Chain A
Amino acid sequence: MSAVRDHLSAAKVYRVLAVLFLIAAPHLPRLPLWASALVIAMGIWRALAAQRTWPMPGALLRNLLAGLALVGIWTQYQTLNGHHAGVALLVVMLAMKLTEMTTRRDYLVVIYLSYFLLITHFLFSQEMIMLLLMFAGALAITSVLIEVNHPQGILPLKRNLRLSGTLMLQAVPLMLIFFVLFPRIPGPLWGIPTDAGAGMTGLSDSMEPGMISELGMSDAVAFRVRFDAEAPPRSELYWRGPVFEYFNGRSWLPGPGSDLPMREQIEFEGPPTVYEMQLEPHGKRWLLALDLPRGPLPEGTSMGRDLVLRHKWDVIDKKLYRLASGTRYNVDSEASERYRQHLLSLPQASNPQTREMVLSWKAQDDAPQAIIATALQHFADQPFHYTLRPPLLMNQHSIDQFVFETRRGFCEHYASAFTFMMRAAGIPARVVTGYQGAERNGDYYIVRQSDAHAWSEVWLDGRGWVRIDPTAAVAPERVELGLGGALPAGEPIPGLARLSRGTLVQLQLRWDQVNAAWNRWVLAYGPELQQNLMAALGMSGLRALLIALTVLTLSSLLIVNLLVARAHQSELERDPVQRIWRRFLGKLKRAGLAPQPSEGPIDLSQRIARQAPKLAGDAERISQLYVRLRYASRQTDPALLKRFRQRVRAFPSRAG
C-alpha cells in the first residue's frame, strides 16, 4: 500500500496535535486503558509521520483499526449511545482521523471535530472553572483554524492569539442571546442516560447504621440557601429529606406509597420563612426543604404522604427553587387506621431486649408523652456517646446491641433506636433523614454533606406529626454548634466542620461564594426561569421563544452583514481611484454593459467599443486614466485624479 503523501507542514501538524491533546486530555482517564493507549499511539504516529516522513497507516490498516475500536467500545459499554460511550467513540475516532489528515479538508474536519469534542466536557462538569478551560480550548482551536486558513500561513503567536481572541469576543453577544433564548428542555435531556446520577454524593434511599456517618466525613456542598429575611435559629434548621417508614430489622426503607399525594392539612404558626435553594445534584427525586414547606410549591414538584417535596424527575443538574416554610406547624389529619398500623409494624421477634424495656416503661405510664420523655431521658442518662466512628453492629438484633452493649453511635443509630422504641410502645413513628444546621458564608448559607442528620417523627393524636431528635438528648451541641462542636476531642473532623478556621478555609469559603453566584446566575437558568423571563417579557410558550430566537438570529446576521459591508466600504473610501472606478462600473451596469469582476480595464473598453460604439471614446479615455492611476504609478497624481473624476462624472457624455 502506498504511503499517503503529507502536504501539510510539520509545524502545523504539531500545533493541531498539541491543541487536540489539550482538549482530549481530561477525557483520557475516563476512557478504557486500551482506548487511551490507541489515542496516544495515533498521535505519536502522526507526529512521527510529520517529523521523519514516516508513512501513515494505509487504508486497510485504518479501516481495520477503526472497526476494532468500534467493537471495543461496544464491548466496553454495551452501547454506542450515552455520554461515556459517545465521548469514547468521538475521542478514538478523532485520533484515528489524525492518521489520514493529509489535505486541507481533513485538517478542517479535525478542527471542527475538536470544537465538538470541547463541548462534550460539559457533559461531565459544569463548574465555572470548566468554563474558563473551555474558553482557553476554544481559543486554541480557533488559533489553529486561523493558521490553516490564513493566506500568510503561520502567524506570530501574539498576532494569532489577538485575532482568535477578537473572533471569540465577537461571538460573545451571540452566546448571550442563545444562553437566554435557546429553548430549555424540561426534564432530563434525552441524551443523558441513567449513568448520569452515578458518583453523586448525598442522602440515600435507605438508611442503615454507618451510612450517614460516612457522609459526615464529606466536605462536599449539599445545597446553598439564601434567606429573604433573618435566618431562623440554628436549632430550627432541620432540612427535610427522604423519610423511611419500613424497618426490616437492619435497614430503614421508604414505606409503600409514601409518595402518594399528601392529604394532611397543615396549620402553621408564625410568619413563613422564605428562602431560595441552590441544590446540588444528587441523582434522586427529593428536593431538600426546611421542615416543613408551605405555600405554593415550585413548578413540577409535589408533596407526598411523608411530607417530602419531590421533583418530577431525578435531580441530575443543579436546581434553583424558592420556597416558603414554617418551622412551627401542626399537621391536622387523622392517619387512616391502615396507615397507622403500617407505621407501627416491626419485624417479629427482633430486638427483644429493647422491646421488653419499652414495655416496662409503658407499664409505668402509657401516655405517649411520658414514653417519649422516658426514652430521651434514657439516652441522656445512660453512658451513650456521640461519635463519627461507631463500632460495627454485627448482631442480628442490631438495636439491642447498640442500646445495651456499644452505646456509641451517630445520629442514625439514635434515630433508628428511638423510632424502634416508639413503635414497640405503640406510637406511630418514622425516621426522617436530611440535614441539620447551616454555615453562614456572606449573604447565604452553606449546608454540607457533613451536616447530614437523621431524626424521628412520632404521631401524636391531636398534634399530628411531632419531630423528636434523640441525638439532641445525647449531644445537644450537635444541634447548637454543629458536628465540630459535638464530636468528642480526638476524633477526626472534616476540615470545614471544625469550629476554628484557618486562612485556607477562608479561601475555600470565598471560592464557594464565587461558585454560588455562578450556580445562581448561570447554571440554575433552566426551563422554569426561562419561562418566567419570557412571561415577564410578554411571551409565553415555546412558540414565542422560537419566534424571538429567529428574529434575534436574523437581526444579528443582518447586523454582521452591515458591519462587513461597512468595513468593505471604508476600504474603498480610502482609495479614491477605486471609488470613482466603481462609480463608473455602476454607470456601465445601468447602461446594460454590466462588467465581469474578472474583466480588466482594457478588455472592458474594447468590449464597450464593440457593444456600444457611441460610448467607446469616453470609456477608452476613462480606462486609460484608470490604468495610469492604478497600475502605472505608485503615487496618485492629483491632477490626473481630478481629470479621472470629471470624466467619470460626465459619463456617458452626450457630446462624445
Chain B
Amino acid sequence: MDKPARPPHNRALTHSLPSRMSDRIASILTSASEIILGKPDVLKLSLSCLLAQGHLLIEDVPGVGKTTLAQTLAHLLGLQYRRIQFTSDLLPADIGGVSVFDKDSGQFRFQPGPVFCQVLLADEINRASPKTQSALLEAMEEGQVTSDGETRKLPQPFFVIATQNPLDQIGTFALPESQLDRFLMRLSLGYPSHQAEKELLLGQSRRELLLQQGNVLSDGDVLDLQSQVGGITASPALIDYILALVNASRSHARVALGLSPRSGLALKRAAQAWALIDGRKAVVPEDVQAVFPHVAGHRLQLNSGDDSGVATLIKELLADVAIP
C-alpha cells in the first residue's frame, strides 16, 4: 500500500521548524557534547530550561563540570557570562551593585553588580545568608534589580544556574521550598562514565576547546526561540496527562505535599521547550515524561521528610499513571 522507501526513524514527526533554526539547535547540542562529555541529557535539559525562561538548580559535588556547563551554554548561545561564588558574608549589594560617589562629577554613580549579565552561575548558593539568597531570587523572578530606590532592568535573556553542594551541612542555609519552586528544574550532573572520563583526561583543556568553537546563536536568536516555546501546541489530551500526573502526586500515600498548580504550569512549559528542541510543533507525552523528574523532583515533599525516596516515587508515578 505504501512505498516502503521512507526513512523509518524520522523524529521530526510533524511540521518541522525552519530548518536553519533546528539545525542550529542540533549543532549547539553537538558542540556542547564535545565539551561536556557523556551528558547529552543534561545538556538538552539545561537548554530546554533556558528556552523555557526558567532557571536551573544543579545539585552536585564539586568538580563534575558545573562551571564548564554554564560557560559552554553561554558561549555557544552567544550570551554574556558571569559567576558569583556565594559565601556566608556575601551581601545583596555584592550581587546587585552599589552606588559609589564619583569625585569628578560630584554625583553618585551606580556600579552594576555581577548580576547584570545573561548567564549567571551562582555557585554554592546555599552558603549565603537568606537575605542574599532572596536578593538573587528577586532578580530571577522579576528580571530586575532594585537599589537605592531605583529599579534597573537586567539584560535579556537572563538565565541563572545555581549550584548547591548536597553534602554540605555546616554553615549552609537550605533554600526553603517556596524558593526552590523558583527554579524550573533541578538537575544533577553526576560522575562521568569511564569512557567519558578517559577521554576527558586524554584530551585538551575544556576551556581551550570551548574557545576554539564559535558562537552558534546570538542573544537575539535565543529571545526568538524563547518566544517560540509558548507557541508549541499542548493539546487538551496532553493537558489531561499533565493533570493526571499532578493529581497522582497529590493523592499518593507517601507524599506530604503534592505538586502545585504552578508546578503544572512549569511542567507544561518545560515540555514545550523540550518539544521545540526535538523539532516538534506539538508536545507529546514523551516530552512530559522526559522533563517530569527534573521539574517535579524538588517540588515534591515526602511524608518521611527524606529526599532519597523522591526519585523512586517519580519513577513509580511515571510508570503507574496511564496516558489518557
Contact = CB atoms under 8 A, between A and B. Distances in A.
Contacts of A630: 235, 237
Interface stretch (A58-66, A292-300, A621-629): A621-629
A650 interface: yes
A610 to B, nearest CB: 11
A634 B323 contact: no
B322 interface: yes
Contacts of B224: none
Contact of B321 (A598, A631, A633, A650): A598
A627 B284 contact: yes
Given A151-B247, A631-B233, A609 B284 contact: no
Contact of A627 (B10, B14, B257, B289): B14
A620 B6 CA distance: 11
Given A631-B238, A633-B233, A600 B1 contact: no
B322 to A, nearest CB: 3
A598 B319 contact: yes
Nearest to B12: A624
Nearest to B256: A7
B13 A624 contact: yes
Nearest to A105: B253
B284 A602 contact: yes
Nearest to B322: A597
Nearest to A604: B286
A600 B257 contact: no
A599 interface: yes
Interface in B3-27: 4, 6, 8-11, 13-14
Contacts of A103: 256
B57 interface: no
Interface in B272-289: 281-286, 289
B282 A656 contact: no
A198 to B, nearest CB: 46
Interface in B234-253: 235-238, 243, 247, 251, 253
A632 B281 contact: yes
Contacts of B289: 598, 600, 603
Interface residues of B, number: 34
A632 B322 contact: no
Given A598-B323, A609-B8, A633-B233, A104 B282 contact: no
B320 interface: yes
A634 B233 CA distance: 9
Interface string A126-157: 00000000000000000000000001000000
Contacts of B322: 597-598
A602 B286 contact: yes
Contact of A631 (B2, B11, B247, B282): B282
A518 B11 CA distance: 72
A172 interface: no
B14 A628 contact: yes
B318 interface: yes
B18 to A, nearest CB: 17
A655 interface: yes
Nearest to A619: B8
A561 to B, nearest CB: 19
A280 B24 CA distance: 91
Given A600-B286, A601-B284, A634 B1 contact: no
Contact of B14 (A7, A151, A600, A632): A632
Contacts of B8: 609, 616-617, 620
A105 B256 CA distance: 11
B323 A597 contact: yes
Nearest to B289: A600
Most buried by B among A603, A623, A650: A603
A631 B323 contact: no
Contact of B6 (A596, A601, A617, A631): A617
Interface string A1-27: 000000100000000000000000000
Contacts of B319: 596, 598
Given A631-B237, A632-B233, A632-B235, 8 more contacts: A601-B286, A603-B286, A617-B2, A617-B8, A631-B285, A634-B235, A655-B4, A656-B1
Interface of A: 7, 103-105, 151, 596-603, 609, 616-617, 620-621, 623-624, 627-628, 630-634, 650, 653, 655-656
30 contacts: A7-B256, A104-B251, A151-B243, A151-B247, A598-B319, A598-B321, A599-B323, A600-B284, A600-B286, A600-B289, A609-B9, A616-B8, A617-B2, A620-B9, A623-B13, A624-B14, A627-B13, A627-B284, A628-B14, A628-B282, A630-B235, A631-B233, A631-B238, A631-B282, A632-B14, A632-B281, A633-B233, A633-B282, A653-B1, A656-B1
